[in-house]
Homo-oligomer: A and B are copies of this chain.
Amino acid sequence: MAGNSFGRIFRITTFGESHGKAVGVVLDGVPSKIPISEDEIQRELDRRKPGQSELTTPRSEDDKVEILSGVFDGMTTGTPICMVVYNKNQKSKDYDAVKNLFRPGHADYTYQMKYGIRDYRGGGRSSSRETIGRVCAGAIAKKILKKYNIEIFGYVKQVGYVKGEKLVKDFIENNPVRMGDPEKYKEAYDLILDVKSRGDSVGALVEIIVSGVPVGLGEPVFDRLNAEIGKAILSIPAVKGIEFGAGFSVVEHFGSINNDEITPYGFMTNNAGGTLGGISSGQDIVFRFAVKPPSSILIEKNTIDIMGNPKKIVTEGRHDPCVAPRVVPIAEAMTSIVIVDFMMINKRLEL
């Protein structure tokens, strides 16, 4: 129990269900005197909102953030910052039909078994609306990183079988797939539309790159920077795997090619992905994660009802055929929170 907090010194606690009164976050441990406004938070939040293009769900969720505490005269005060987004336009009736059914791939079954009760409307707590709070907190983390000239960005590297190869940073936020490769973007876009037209969904691969990270972040042997990022990313709904640097390709590597040689001018390669022994090396932090195809599809599937009877199910409603474009800001948020947390832990006494 009590699994809704993340971070140690810089810590978030999220709350809220998809169709309840509100979703939100309490961000504790924020340094004081950081200028912050609702507009800044909102900008980040708008990056994850649905309805940004015809690729995402047409729900106009109109997510407006409100800061309830911790900011005074436009500045953080060092006290907990509570940010909420009140839920509007939530059509609970959409979910009456699936009230007693366990949607395949969703958490309906496990929530029901674990808690003996669940808010079935829109997935309740397991809805991706929960991540709104993460993005709000991440906006503040990002602002702190910026002050330290640490840059973080993510992009979609692959959608289904469409693999991006190039990475043009300026292109990412200028296409609805958030692809990094302008040449492959159209193909990915078409694939998603096609999948959507068939009532199906598709998976994707996302890469995050953080540059400017100081040497020394991470607290071995358990709280390694990569391990903590791993937990953060794997806590995002739909993520099924994560790999750092050369990642799974190391399986076929020999040490003689995998070791990153060191020169007076820096490392020659970055197979490690930015950490050595769980501590940042000053190289870019680079990792990728796999996002599964959304479980809500219009294709009929087998399931059971709450009494264990066999049933057929089609998940009606307005859903994303590919969730990766909206996962990018969530993953950036979680990564930023991890890094700020370690920066604060790492402030050592001078002795």
- Determine the distance from Cα of A140 to Cα of B257 in the docked complex, in whole angstroms: 39
Residues from chain B with a CB closer than 8 A to the CB of A345 are 1, 9
Could you name 18 residue pairs across A and B whose Cβ atoms are closer than 8 Å? A1-B9, A1-B28, A2-B9, A3-B219, A3-B220, A3-B221, A5-B13, A15-B26, A31-B351, A79-B124, A105-B260, A111-B279, A125-B220, A126-B220, A201-B254, A240-B248, A242-B242, A242-B243
Task: Give A16-58 as 1s and 0s: 1 = Cβ < 8 Å from B's Cβ atoms.
Answer: 1100111110101111111000000000000000000000000
- Determine the distance from Cα of A304 to Cα of B262 in the docked complex, in whole angstroms: 6
Q: Give the interface centre of A9, A102, A205 by most chain B CB atoms within 10 Å.
A: A9
Question: How many copies of this kind of chain does the complex include?
Answer: 4
- A221-B14, A255-B201, A263-B310 known; A5 vs B5 contact (CB < 8 Å): yes
Task: Assess the A351–B144 pair: CB atoms within 8 A.
Answer: yes
Task: Give A78-110 as 1s and 0s: 1 = Cβ < 8 Å from B's Cβ atoms.
Answer: 111110100000000000000000101111111
Closest to A114 in B: B216
Q: Which 7 A-B residue pairings sit nearest by Cβ, starting from the closest?
A: A107-B277, A3-B219, A241-B243, A3-B223, A1-B29, A201-B255, A2-B29
- A124-B77, A304-B263 known; A251 vs B107 contact (CB < 8 Å): no
Is residue A168 within 8 Å, beta carbon to beta carbon, of the partner chain? Answer: no
Task: Assess the A105–B75 pair: CB atoms within 8 A.
Answer: no
- A262-B302, A349-B31 known; A277 vs B6 contact (CB < 8 Å): no
Task: Assess the B82–A24 pair: CB atoms within 8 A.
Answer: yes
- A202-B254, A297-B259 known; A130 vs B221 contact (CB < 8 Å): yes
Interface residue stretch chosen among A169-177, A179-187, A285-293: A285-293
Is residue A158 within 8 Å, beta carbon to beta carbon, of the partner chain? Answer: yes
Is residue A142 within 8 Å, beta carbon to beta carbon, of the partner chain? Answer: no
